[in-house]
């Protein structure tokens, strides 16, 4: 599928003319991840017919455990790639390799780098260490610094237009989470509408992208069949985002539970939100925080049955009212 892009990398490898850094545009959990793994296998494979996918090196690459490679990614979708992580990656690839060959760093979902992280990376790109490859994987290259892009060779596997960038829903979701628990029934209704609005925005974005994709691809299909296909695809993509959103809401409540239980702050999923989390935790006992998590899980479950979403959100947020 990406034969041309792959051949380009192969030629570069065989003629010893690889670039120091590549931006791989595609899904960081799908095609671009696989491409990055194949790329590294090509570098590290122990057999002549590279990549063999079978030698210990190929296997270690696949497990993301090769000693001369380092992978970083945002630990949870709601989080950024922090400067410390990029610093650790840069540190690793500027040192001597353990096995005497290549060293490689991979940044998955690189668009999640914050400004500090991006600047550290940029510095490395300006003075790349020798025998080193950096793979920067993203499905939204427009979110990277242009100065980063310009220093990398670009490999476009897919423009992933149907994939909703996480940034579309993250900021509004964090606003909702910080406003919890609702102070009154009215407040609960307001937050429920905000959550509903968030999903409407996501859905509209997906619909645009999917419609555009299919209009081009399936001109031969008749109108009603095309609409069915589009609707099914929108719904399945929307469900994926919904599941992710509920996972973040659940993670948030898990942090509140940890704080309400007096457990070490080091283990928070949202350490940057410590202040809001603390304010919410003091309103809870361990028992009530646990109950909040159950309410959120119940919301996610009810969404799968055909209950109107606003009703589900409204009832759940009312239950969470302090």
Residues that bind Zn ion (CB under 5 A): 45, 47, 52, 55, 58
CB within 8 Å of 227: residues ≥ 6 apart: none
Between CA 217 and CA 204 the distance in angstroms is 20
b (16+ CB within 10 A) / e for 246-262: bebbbbbbbbbbbbbee
* Shortest separation between residue 58's beta carbon and Zn ion, angstroms: 3
Smallest distance, Å, CB 48 to Zn ion? 10
Least separation, in Å, of the C-beta of 53 and Zn ion? 6
Residue 6 CB, nearest approach to Zn ion (Å): 16
Q: Give min distance, CB of 102 to Zn ion, in A.
A: 13
Strand order in the sheet with 69-72: 69-72, 103-107, 132-138, 21-25, 153-156
Minimal distance, residue 26 CB to Zn ion, in Å: 23
The CA distance from 174 to 207, in Å, is: 24
Count other Cβ atoms within 10 Å, centred on residue 294: 11
109: left (phi over 0), alpha (psi -120 to 50) or beta: left
User: CB-wise, 58 or 316, nearer to Zn ion?
Assistant: 58
Q: Which is nearer to Zn ion, 49 or 275 (CB)?
A: 49
- 49 or 127: whose CB is closer to Zn ion? 49
Q: What minimum distance in Å lies between the beta carbon of 51 and Zn ion?
A: 5
Strand-pairing partners, residue 22, are: 135, 153
* Alpha helices (runs of H) in the chain, residue ranges in sequence order: 3-14, 31-44, 56-62, 83-94, 115-126, 146-150, 167-178, 185-217, 223-260, 274-281, 286-304, 309-320
C-beta of 58 vs 134, nearer to Zn ion: 58
Q: Which residues pair with 24 in a beta bridge?
A: 137, 155
Q: How far is the CB of 39 from Zn ion (least distance, A)?
A: 13
Nearer to Zn ion, 45 or 260 (CB): 45
Q: Among residues 45 and 109, whose Cβ is nearest to Zn ion? A: 45
**Shorter beta-carbon distance to Zn ion: residue 48 or 96:** 48
Q: Are 237 and 162 in contact (CB under 8 A)?
A: yes
Q: Which residues pair with 81 in a beta bridge?
A: 113
Tell me the HSE value of 142 on the side-chain side, using a 13 A CA sphere: 5
Q: Shortest approach of Zn ion to residue 13 CB, angstroms? A: 13
Q: The tokens 């992978």 sit on which residue?
A: 71
Of the two residues 58 and 162, which places its CB atom closer to Zn ion in the complex? 58
Residue number, 26 or 51, with CB nearest to Zn ion: 51
| Measured CA angle at 138 (ends 125, 110), to 5 deg | 55
């Amino acid at each position: 599928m990406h034969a041309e892009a792959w051949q380009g990398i192969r030629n570069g490898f065989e003629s010893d003319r690889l670039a120091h850094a590549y931006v791989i545009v595609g899904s960081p959990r799908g095609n671009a991840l696989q491409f990055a793994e194949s790329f590294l296998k090509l570098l590290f494979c122990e057999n002549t017919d590279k990549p063999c996918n079978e030698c210990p090196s190929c296997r270690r690459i696949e497990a993301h455990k090769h000693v001369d490679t380092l992978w970083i990614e945002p630990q949870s979708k709601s989080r950024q790639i922090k400067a410390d992580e990029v610093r650790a990656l840069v540190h690793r690839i500027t040192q001597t390799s353990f096995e005497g060959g290549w060293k490689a760093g991979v940044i998955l979902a690189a668009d999640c780098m914050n400004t500090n992280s991006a600047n550290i990376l940029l510095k490395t790109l300006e003075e790349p260490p020798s025998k080193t490859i950096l793979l920067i994987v993203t499905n939204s290259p427009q979110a990277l610094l242009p100065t980063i892009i310009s220093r990398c060779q670009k490999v476009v596997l897919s423009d992933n237009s149907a994939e909703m960038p996480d940034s579309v829903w993250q900021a509004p979701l964090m606003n909702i989470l910080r406003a919890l628990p609702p102070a009154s029934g009215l407040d609960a209704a307001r937050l429920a509408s905000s959550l509903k609005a968030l999903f409407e925005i996501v859905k509209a974005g997906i619909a645009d992208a999917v419609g555009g994709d299919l209009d081009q691809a399936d001109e031969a299909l008749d109108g009603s069949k095309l609409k069915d296909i589009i609707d099914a695809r929108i719904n399945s993509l929307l469900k994926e985002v919904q599941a992710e959103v509920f996972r973040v809401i659940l993670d948030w409540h898990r942090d509140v539970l940890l704080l309400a239980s007096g457990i070490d702050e080091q283990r928070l999923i949202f350490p940057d939100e410590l202040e809001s989390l603390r304010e919410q935790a003091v309103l809870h006992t361990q028992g009530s925080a646990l109950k909040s998590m159950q309410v959120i899980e119940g919301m996610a479950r009810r969404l799968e049955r055909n209950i109107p979403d606003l009703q589900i959100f409204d009832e759940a947020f009312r239950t969470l009212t302090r």
